[in-house]
Amino acid sequence: MGLDEIIVTQAIVDRFMEKLKACLKLDVAIVGAGPSGMVAAYYLAKSGHKVAIFERKLSIGGGMWGGGMMFNQIVVQEAGKHILDEFGVRVYPYKEGYFTADAIEATTMICAKACQAGVNIFNCISMEDVVVREGRVCGLVINWSPVETTGLHVDPLTIHAQYLIDATGHHTELIKVIERKADGKLFTPTGKIVGEKSLWAEVAETTTVENTKEAYPGAFVCGMAANACFGSYRMGPIFGGMLLSGKKVAQLIQERLKSET
Ligand code: 48F
């Protein structure tokens, strides 16, 4: 049997459009496919919610691939280990309370399980704006990342979602847009993004989870974006807090969605 290139093209276009059309109205739209965003998406999809992640880069994984300074190993502490276990990532004891995992294995296993739980991941797509109605966010404005990087004058498209998650890491990009454009204040002590402090792993790991919460009506923060938004430290290549934060934001949103039905 010969291969018909046009069928290959049709298959890709049809399947992609099916996937995109299925995601025009979501329960939860997540910006950023780093560790916290992918973990959040997995738990939300596993509990039956319609969830998609929009990731600017071609690759998923954010800062997880690179371990510490491109030494592609990550460290997790006791508290976060069970999440790597749940994703089937092999974890090796190092010293009491410290475990290591291969950064490549961790990134790919988390992503694979998220996809198989029903998460749709759209790579090469950037969030450039939000939809706000009556003081609450209810959608994302997205565009192809190459449009953003080349500065083409092309209008974006819109996705509606009941909840948004900022999982964009250090840059807190979703909340930055909300801070700049939406009426009202953020739920931070200053009403603005407080900003990330320098590195203090022990404190940062705890506050990442504490700061995982709603930052503006309908918009939650997780991972490093949580610490940047509410003003805490960075932590370097220890990932327990990222994983726990992803799980926590999924639980918080699940409770909200449940209370609304
Ligand atoms: O930075 P990132 O890995 O976020 P995270 O889940 O994890 C942080 C750790 O990797 C590490 C750390 C732990 O010690 O501090 O840095 O908080 O992933 C964020 C992802 O969001 C994407 C970005 O490309 C990255 O993959 N992203 C950022 N802004 C946008 C975006 C945007 N406007 N649209 C789409 N994706």
> Could you tell me the pTM of the whole model?
0.98
pLDDT for 154-179, tens place per residue? 999 999 999 999 999 999 999 999 99
How far apart (Å, rounded) are the C-alpha atoms in residues 169 and 223? 6
How far apart (Å, rounded) are the C-alpha atoms in residues 238 and 50? 30
Cβ of 166 closer than 6 Å to ligand 1, yes or no, is no
How far apart (Å, rounded) are the C-alpha atoms in residues 225 and 231? 10
What is the radius of gyration, based on Cα positions, of the chain? Answer: 18
| Class of domain 13-260 as given by CATH | alpha beta
Cβ of 241 closer than 6 Å to ligand 1, yes or no, is no
Cβ of 63 closer than 6 Å to ligand 1, yes or no, is yes
pLDDT for 13-55, tens place per residue? 999 999 999 999 999 999 999 999 999 999 999 999 999 999 9
For helices 240-260 and 35-46, give the axis angle rounded to 10 degrees: 40
pLDDT of residue 261: 80
Give the distance, in angstroms, between the CA of residue 261 and the centroid of all CA atoms in the same chain.
25
Q: How far is the CA of 109 from the centre of ligand 1 (A)?
A: 17
Cβ–Cβ under 8 Å, residues 82 and 101 = no
Residues in contact with 6: Cβ distance below 8 Å, sequence separation at least 6, in sequence order? none
How far apart (Å, rounded) are the C-alpha atoms in residues 187 and 230? 9
